[in-house]
Amino acid sequence: VQAAFLQPGISLPSRAGSQLQGSPVVPRQSRRRKSVAIAYEAGQGDGAEPRRARWEPPRWREQLQRIRQMRSGRDAPVDEMGVHRCYDTSAPPEVMRYQVLLALMLSSQTKDQVTSAAMLRLRRRGLTVDSVLQMDEESLGQIIYPVGFWRNKVKYIKQTTAILKHKYGGDIPSTVEELVQLPGVGPKMAHLAMHIAWDSVAGIAVDTHVHRISNRLQWVKKETKNPEQTRVALEEWLPRDLWKEINWLLVGFGQQTCLPVNPRCSQCLNQDICPAAKRL
Q: Which of 188, 221, 222, 225 is catalytic?
A: 188
Total residue count of the chain as it appears in this document: 280
Q: Quote the DSSP letter at residue 240.
A: G
Give yes or no: 221 in active site.
no
Report, in this order, helix, strand and coil percent for the chain, each rounded to 5. Answer: 45, 0, 55
**In this structure, are residues 63 and 270 in contact, taking their beta carbons and an 8 Å threshold?**
yes
State the Cα–Cα distance between residues 243 and 235, nearest whole angstrom: 8
- Amino acid found at 109: Q
State the Cα–Cα distance between residues 121 and 75, nearest whole angstrom: 23
Q: Which residues have C-beta within 8 Å of that of residue 54, sequence separation ≥ 6?
A: 236, 237
- 126 vs 8, 88, 219, 244, CA distance in Å? 28, 10, 43, 30
| Catalytic (active-site) positions | 188
